[in-house]
Structure 1
Amino acid sequence: MDVEKSLLGSLANAVGIGEPALKLLLSILFGYPIAIVYRTVIVGKPPAIQHAYMIACGLLLGFYNFGYCYTSTDSYDIVWTMPHCILTLRLTGLAFDLYDGSLPEDKLSNDQKKVVLREVPSLLEMAGYTYFPTSFLVGPQFPMKKYQDFIGGKFHGANVVPSDNLEPAIRRLMLGLFYAGLHTVGASYYSDDYLFGDEYAAMPLWKRIWDLGMWGHFVLYKYITIWLFCEGSCILIGIAYNGKNEKGESKWDGSANVKLLLFETAQNFNSDYISAFNINTNYWMLQYIYKRLKFLGNKYYSQLGVLVYLALWHGLHSGYYMCFFMEFISVMMEKELEVILKRNEFFLERLQDPVASKIKWVVLKLYTLIFMGPCILPLAVLKFDKWWLIYSRTYFYAHLFWGGWILYKPLVKKLLPPRRDKRE
């Protein structure tokens, strides 16, 4: 054990990450050999054997990472509470699916009908689903019904090992390595130490705003790296199967958590970033929380309910609540501004010009870059004194822009009045 710790510590220092983070990364990459063993030895075996394999692999990964329990500190810890967050969503979804199974068919939506459970799963099924090794530590989420179909061989046949998932699995692995390199390079220029240091504080305001945005963008690459690695192992083991396309080809995007092209070309937070980033969790929240809050009678109340749930689910650090507050005010402002702009005929006509369209793309790309920093900042640093320090150093520019919308909205509406009815 001492030799292992020494090797891990040396490797962690060499790549510039902590030892717990390195162990987590190795555990996620272990998903690939686990998937290969499943494909070559376990697939087609009786369900009990398959469940036992999933349980054993998942528990071994958990023990390797954490071994014992200890509580979180004031930083973003990699401890046993992290997979417990994943399991909270997984088992909450399972409870909802079982509850829906007690309802008549005509009371269920089309989405609910796809995942509803009419019978309580066995204890072995529950444990295999809970500790599924390629998604146990950091996700992604999938319903119990999908796990049952996977174990039962309903995707391709009980004894069939698909070969068309090798290429997409390797592609996601390679993309994960690429984004790991981007994160490492970016973090060397825009590090946490720089952000909290005197050098950053001495920069001109525009440079502080730009650097905060770039720092936030490279922080997100860390999440993207992990998600790509996990997605690749889920594809390789087979749980990422998502039906067939119009050409009859298998789709392997059932565990996707990021749309890379949309993320890199995002023009806003309301639709682009939300659609491109953390897809799996966002979809889970949509199905199990947002749609079930429709009795509130207001989409903003439902959205606020989702964000409060997300904050509580993450933990009690103030950074979680500030992060999701920033998401709420940014989405609200963008939605209302979009409505105003779409109603102005003159504005829409000007955007048809090719030059104006290109200028718009550049402006909105810069907007998403520099505003991502203050949005992700509290989630990354968690503690009040840390995110407050950086916000104060940049004069709360995102809060003023998004939160101040309620004050300057009347002026925008006056400058961009709705188009006139042609009959008038």
Structure 2
Amino acid sequence: MIDDFYSGLSAKVGGIPIDHLKVVSFYLAKSFSAYSWMPWVVMGFAMTHLLLFHIQRLIHVTPSTAIEISGSLMVLIQRTTTYAWNVHDGQLKEEELEDYQKDNRVMKQPPLLGFLAYTLYFPAILVGPAFPYDAYASLVDNSLFETSRPRKLKGRRRAGYRRMVFGLIFMALYAVFGGSTDMGFLIDSEWKKNHGILSRIAFLQKSAVITRCKYYAVWSISEGACIISGLGFNGYNEKNGRTRWDRVRNIDVLGVELAQNVKELLDAWNMNTNVWLRSCVYKRVTTKGKKPGFQSTLITFVTSAFWHGLPMGYYLTFIYGGFLQALGKLVRKNIRPFFIDTSKKPLYDVLSIVTTQMLINFAIIPFMLLGFKNSLKGWYSVGGYGIIVVIVAFNYFKYMGGTDRLQTKLKQRRDDALEELFDGTPTAEMRDKAGLDEELLTRDVDEIMEKLTKHGTLASREAADQIKDLSNEGKTITKGVVKDAVNVSKSE
């Protein structure tokens, strides 16, 4: 059976054997590792290979229910391109790399057989998860299990079987309820006659949850297989010393269903594919020395859509998702700080969860219906509420002065709280009132240092110097860092 499966992976795609994808990618990385363009060439070659396959599927009108190799080919694309970037990072100096790149760079390339074994690692060949070459190599040579203090590895089978049980439960939920919650009902004329707009919106929320169950199922089972093989080992829990088996964790169900914003949800969904997109696309298309912006986000979402296939539904979902993520940043920057220190924060959290779920559920309609016309019909069937929210919100923040008004109010809150910071013992309430959450402080560190310095006391100037030093070292300037700097300066 396994031989038949790998033979299928070696079948021709658009006239090009899939073996060429693996072998050519390997020798491109090996022969041109010193050139900065090498990983881009590998990615271009891999994506062209994938394009030929997608075209072939369209020509032959492959139904979504057919058993074919598209999922495994997508996994191969992840592994070959990840390997190329890991090799590229191995040629750079440490100071040029981020922590993730340092941890996963390939300093010594393996022989072809070792590379093929990595790309065809069986427990994760069907649906992932994606992982860097270094993780596989450390499993093979047992260095994955080396720790400062040798211990007996416990809980591997228990963790693996638990994932399998979770996967089977989600599979059963989808098998029982999937037929009655098919998103195709949204474009069925007869069904719509008997269901009003509110009923359709409610149906969409239920349908989306059940639809996600099939992904929870396959990713949980795949992760369990990886854990049983040993790849899931991730050291020990610092608090209780227990063995961790979450190295290749691919889904956080509660993180998805209870996410308060789109970023949180995406970070919990198909987690290793997100790491692949972030490390191979998002970070790479961003100019060095600059922070990734909306352009990087949009390129990443379009790449993800192309990776999934050619139907326009994918592109509608991911482009809309890019706007949702950008909108989420605006909300976190301009609205969230007003609630972090008030009794209304629990209500804000609940509303954030509900809003995030409704917008994401709206976003996936095209992903499930695929066709352009059907996608638009599906959106129209629920009143296009997701489009309306995005248009109204962006207009308010960008063109109606919403951002300026909110930032003016937040600036006054920060000014007041920073003044109070040195007039008495600083309290958590004061710092929260100032809006000193992690994201704001990372962005506004210069303004905070200026205000601390201008305050005129020795303590404030020393605190500003400490914050500046930490910022120059690349440390994240959180409210805890500000608190420590202020308290140390005052005690001195």
**In the superposition, relative to structure 1, how do residues 398 and 193 fare at CA in structure 2: closer, same or farther (>3 Å)?**
closer
Matched residue, 1:388: 376
Matched residue, 2:285: 293
Code of the residue aligned with 2:251 in structure 1: it is V
**Alpha carbon RMSD of aligned pairs, Å?**
2.8
**In the superposition, relative to structure 1, how do residues 365 and 188 fare at CA in structure 2: closer, same or farther (>3 Å)?**
farther
Query: How many angstroms does 1:86 deviate by?
Result: 0.9
Matched residue, 2:121: 132
Distance 1:174 1:400 in 2: 40
Distance 1:141 1:329 in 2: 26
Code of the residue aligned with 1:152 in structure 2: it is D
Q: Is the 8 A contact 2:153 2:243 kept in 1?
A: no
94, 100, 107: which one pairs with 1:118?
Answer: 107
Structure with bigger RCO (C-alpha 8 Å, 6+ apart): 1
Matched residue, 2:392: 404
Code of the residue aligned with 2:70 in structure 1: it is T
Matched, 1:336 2:336: no
Q: Which has the larger radius of gyration?
A: 2
Matched residue, 1:142: 131
Matched residue, 2:229: 237
Say which SS state the counterpart of residue 360 (structure 2) adopts: helix
- The CA deviation string for residues 152-175 of structure 1, in whole angstroms up to 9 with x for no partner, is 111337xx9954211111111111
Matched residue, 2:178: 187
Matched residue, 1:86: 75
Structure 1 unaligned runs (5+)?
1-26, 28-56
After the TM superposition, which residues 276-291 of structure 1 pair with which residues of structure 2 at under 5 Å, given as runs? 276-291=268-283
**In the superposition, relative to structure 1, how do residues 215 and 292 fare at CA in structure 2: closer, same or farther (>3 Å)?**
same
Matched residue, 2:459: none
Code of the residue aligned with 2:208 in structure 1: it is G
Aligned residues: 359
298, 301, 312: which one pairs with 1:307?
Answer: 301
Matched, 1:249 2:242: yes
Distance 2:9 2:281 in 1: 31
Matched residue, 1:266: 259
Code of the residue aligned with 1:335 in structure 2: it is K
Q: TM-score, normalised by structure 1?
A: 0.77
**In the superposition, relative to structure 1, how do residues 165 and 318 fare at CA in structure 2: closer, same or farther (>3 Å)?**
same
Query: How many angstroms does 1:333 deviate by?
Result: 1.1
Say which SS state the counterpart of residue 155 (structure 1) adopts: helix
Distance 2:384 2:203 in 1: 15
- The CA deviation string for residues 124-176 of structure 1, in whole angstroms up to 9 with x for no partner, is 1011111111111111111111111111111337xx99542111111111111
Code of the residue aligned with 1:94 in structure 2: it is Y
Distance 1:60 1:149 in 2: 28
Code of the residue aligned with 1:103 in structure 2: it is L
Say which SS state the counterpart of residue 285 (structure 1) adopts: helix
Distance 1:267 1:199 in 2: 36
Which is further off, 328-337 or 409-418?
A: 409-418
**In the superposition, relative to structure 1, how do residues 288 and 413 fare at CA in structure 2: closer, same or farther (>3 Å)?**
closer
Which is further off, 401-410 or 145-154?
A: 401-410
Distance 1:78 1:187 in 2: 19
Structure 2 unaligned runs (5+)?
14-52, 421-492
Distance 1:146 1:276 in 2: 21
Code of the residue aligned with 1:277 in structure 2: it is W
Q: Is the 8 A contact 2:157 2:228 kept in 1?
A: yes
89, 104, 107: which one pairs with 2:96?
Answer: 107
Q: TM-score, normalised by structure 2?
A: 0.67
Query: How many angstroms does 1:195 deviate by?
Result: 2.9
- The CA deviation string for residues 297-325 of structure 1, in whole angstroms up to 9 with x for no partner, is 44222211211221222222111111111
Which is further off, 67-76 or 388-397?
A: 67-76
**In the superposition, relative to structure 1, how do residues 194 and 294 fare at CA in structure 2: closer, same or farther (>3 Å)?**
closer
Query: How many angstroms does 1:240 deviate by?
Result: 1.3
